[in-house]
Amino acid sequence: MKRIKKILAMVMIVAVMFGGMVFGANPTTADKEFTLTTTVAGVLSTKITEAQANTNANFQSASDLITKAVATNGEGLPEDTVFYFNIRTNITPLITVKVKATNFISSTNTTSNTSEISYTLSTSSGDGISGIETITSSSAPAGFTTFYEYTKPGTGLKIDSREITASLNTAEFAEANQDSYTATITFNVSTT
């Protein structure tokens, strides 16, 4: 019986060793891939500001200009009024900036004061700017008129801070009745 136990113990040791060599062999390694995905949303936002906002930080912190008074010179005639139209974008299609500009009209007495003051809006060329047109205001603009086009240069988020000059018609200003006047400029931005 001792012999049988020894033989059985031997068989068990051989079986464990053989099993370890067959089943306990080092596994082969393989690369395992994992994919991360993300989407960068398109950004197209605008602001009208008092000062140039040509960086993202300046754009973010700048207040949107709601109204601006036209200054007059020592002779009582209007001076050119400057403000900035800012576009912040990461999109690549062409951006078209259109404007609708109404004449200055009396803000307090529109029935008896029929004086109107026209003006022009102009801007200058720059990186990515094309198709610049001078806009002339009217009593009742029929629709939007293309002011300029902007193609974002390079890659990533870009800011275009475009100086806009409003020049009032000085002859009409000089002939206008005494009153307070307001004009509305509406910007429309679209992509193609």
| Interatomic CA distance for residues 160 and 53, integer angstroms | 8
Q: Is residue 171 part of a domain?
A: yes
Is residue 129 included in any domain, yes or no?
yes
Q: What is the mean pLDDT of residues 2-12?
A: 71
Neighbours of 46 (CB within 10 A): 17
Which are the contacts of 61, defined by CB distance < 8 A and separation ≥ 6? none
Q: For residue 7, tell me if it sits in a domain.
A: no
Question: Does the structure show a pLDDT above 90 at 100?
Answer: yes
- Is residue 25 assigned to a domain? no
pLDDT, position 108: 80
Is 114 inside any structural domain? yes
Q: Residue 116's pLDDT is what?
A: 93
Residue 28 lies in a domain: no
By residue range, what is the domain housing residue 182? 44-191
pTM, to two decimals? 0.80
Q: Mean pLDDT of all residues in the chain?
A: 90
Strands 81-89 and 158-168: antiparallel
- State the amino acid at position 3 in one-letter form: R
* Whether residue 77 has pLDDT greater than 60: yes
Supply the CATH number for residue 184's domain.
2.60.40
| Domains contained in the chain, number | 1
33 within some domain: no
Residue 181 belongs to a domain:
yes
